[in-house]
Amino acid sequence: MSSARRLTQHDIAKLAGVSQATVSLVLNDAQAAATRIPGETRERILKIIRETGYVADPIARRMAKGLNRILGVFTYEPAFPSAQADFFAPFLLGIEEEAQRQNYDLLLLTSAGIGEKREIFGDGNRLRLADGCLVLGRQFNRTELKQLVQGEYPFVAVGRRENAGGKVPYVGGGYADATKTLVGKARALGHSRLAYVGPKGPAESVTDRWKGFSDALENDAELVLHIPHAGQPPHDILEALIASDSTAVFFVELADAIKVETVARQRGLSIPADMSFVVLGSHIRPERTTIQFASFNIPREEMGRQATAMLIGRIETSDPVRQVLLPCEPLEGETLGPVKSRRN
């Protein structure tokens, strides 16, 4: 056999005394190979592959499977400007790690429009260049989500999504349970007059936090103040908290907690001695504040990894739709303490 000619699967099959289909099964490490091909035959094929230095033609293998081995990544907000970088970076790290592990390339779909006009199915759509797509964003376009669910194109959402004309495949964080756990910790420390700073929705991640909070309220605990609009000046928020006699405050956004804590400190109040603060979810750059807030850890990288693995399963073996919520572990922090004793 001429050394100048590239070895083929046919050549390996001839040397091993088996069919080309058998060689293909072994090369692709298909699950069927383990049950249909005797171990001795498989080892003989692998030995010949090692001895001849055979390398499978990646283009031919992709064509045989009908795959480009490319995963699309679509975000409803720009992924890289500094305002969103903290939000998307860990998800993208997890996605990249799993894609690399499973020998897939990533295609970031950036021709989707600008701002509120970003659309998966917009003009110039290049979605089909990828074998499937991961979709990220605080809020999804419900019409497009329904179109994805009803279509045959494989996709997985990063983050929990309400069903849209059918079950949405997703890997998300268990924000409701994590929030409920933090409320329980506050209750165990004697807090019964609770405040909530942030919206109740409409994004599922926000809705889940509110659900966990409201479900955790018991008969002897009450929501004494809800400030839904984060745009209020921090001084006004603090005044409202003091007037409501709140003992523990739950913030949806870290930025609000930082601003209010700064104003409280300037007023001579101590957190948590005078009032406890809890932030509903870890953020990427805790070094922006000198205090570590009580919170819960969001497994962003693991969400990206598992969503990517789920998508590849849907592409390669037509896995059924699954919906996975990963646990969010509590972070103790320094801002949740026993309720301040009241003077008579």
Residue range 119-172, pLDDT digits in tens: 887 666 677 789 999 999 888 889 999 999 998 899 999 999 999 999 999 999
- pLDDT given for residue 344 in this prediction: 37
Task: CATH number of the domain at 118, please.
Answer: 3.40.50.2300
Give DSSP secondary structure letters for 47-114.
Answer: HHHHHHT----HHHHHHHHT---EEEEEESS-SSSHHHHHHHHHHHHHHHHHHHHTT-EEEE---S-S
HSE, side-chain direction, 13 A CA sphere, residue 324: 19
Whether 46 and 138 share a structural domain: no
CA distance 211 to 179: 8
Averaged pLDDT, 166-195: 96
266 is a domain residue: yes
- What's the pLDDT score for residue 1? 44
Mean pLDDT of 291-305: 95
Mean pLDDT of 276-304: 84
Q: What is the pLDDT of residue 191?
A: 96
d(CA 340, CA 190) in angstroms, rounded, equals 9
Residue 274, in any domain of the structure: yes
Q: Which domain holds residue 288?
A: 175-298
Residue 77: phi and psi, rounded to 5, are -125, 150
* Number of structural domains found in the chain: 3
Q: How many CB atoms lie within 10 A of CB 99?
A: 23
Work out the average pLDDT over 97-121: 81
* Domain identity same for 276 and 186: yes
Are 26 and 123 within one domain?
no
DSSP-assigned letter for residue 296: E
Q: Is residue 331 part of a domain?
A: no
pLDDT digits (tens, 9 = 90+) for 17-54: 998 888 877 876 655 555 678 888 888 988 888 787 77
Q: How far is it, in rounded angstroms, from Cα 275 to Cα 253?
A: 17
Query: What single-letter amino acid sits at 77?
Result: E
Does 287 score more than 50 pLDDT?
no
Which range has highest mean pLDDT (73-87, 282-296, 309-323)?
309-323
| 312 and 217 belong to one structural domain | no
pLDDT: which is higher, 84 or 73:
73
Contacts of 156 (CB under 8 A, 6+ apart): 132, 133, 134, 135, 169, 170, 171, 307, 308, 310, 311, 314
Co-location of 59 and 41 in the same domain: yes
Same domain, 168 and 180: no
- CB contact burial 130-169 (16+ within 10 A = b; e otherwise): bbbbbbbbeebbeebbbebbeeebbbbbbbbbeebeeebb
In the predicted structure, residue 58 carries a pLDDT above the cut 60: no
pLDDT of residue 241: 97
Strands (E), the chain: 70-75, 105-108, 132-136, 155-158, 170-173, 193-197, 222-227, 248-251, 276-279, 295-296, 323-326, 330-331
pTM over 0.85: no
Cross-strand bridge partners of residue 294: 278
- Which of 64, 90, 105 finishes a domain? 64
Residue 117 binned pLDDT confidence (cut-offs 50, 70, 90): low
- Residues 76, 116: Cα–Cα separation, whole Å: 8
d(CA 197, CA 202): 15
Residues 85 and 121 in one domain: yes
- Considering the domain architecture, whether residues 116 and 259 belong to the same structural domain is answered as no
Dump pLDDT digits (tens) for 307-343. Answer: 999 999 999 988 999 999 999 999 999 999 999 865 4
| Residue 305 to residue 92: CA distance in whole angstroms | 9
Residue 31 falls inside a structural domain: yes
Q: How confident is the model at residue 279 (pLDDT cuts 50, 70, 90)?
A: very high
On whether residue 339 sits in a domain, the answer given is no
Q: Cα–Cα distance between 203 and 17 in angstroms, integer?
A: 60
Helix (H) or strand (E) holding 240: helix 234-244
Answer whether 195's CB lies under 8 Å from 248's CB: yes
CATH number of residue 46's parent domain = 1.10.260.40
> Other C-beta atoms within 10 Å of 100: how many?
12
Q: What is the pLDDT of residue 183?
A: 97
- Cβ-defined contacts of 153-156 (< 8 Å, 24+): 153/127, 153/128, 154/311, 154/314, 154/315, 155/311, 155/314, 156/132, 156/307, 156/308, 156/310, 156/311, 156/314
For the stretch 216-234, pLDDT in tens is: 997 778 999 999 976 789 9
**Residue 228 resides in a domain:** yes
**Is pLDDT larger for residue 332 or for residue 116?**
332
Residues 204 and 270 placed together within one structural domain of the fold: yes
Residues in the chain, overall count:
344
The residue whose two tokens read 């979709």 is 135
The pLDDT confidence band at residue 196, using thresholds 50, 70 and 90, is: very high
Indicate whether 2 pLDDT > 80: no
Residue 153 resides in a domain = yes
Q: What is the pLDDT of residue 176?
A: 97
| Whether residue 180 is found in the same domain as residue 291 | yes
Distances (CA, A) of 134 to 24, 50, 155, 176, 317: 29, 36, 6, 23, 17
Tens digits of per-residue pLDDT, 250-277? 999 988 999 999 999 999 999 999 999 9
Residues 58 and 149 in one domain: no
Q: How many angstroms separate the Cα of 293 from the Cα of each of 239, 277, 334?
A: 21, 7, 6
| pLDDT value, residue 31 | 55
Does residue 196 sit in the same domain as residue 168?
no
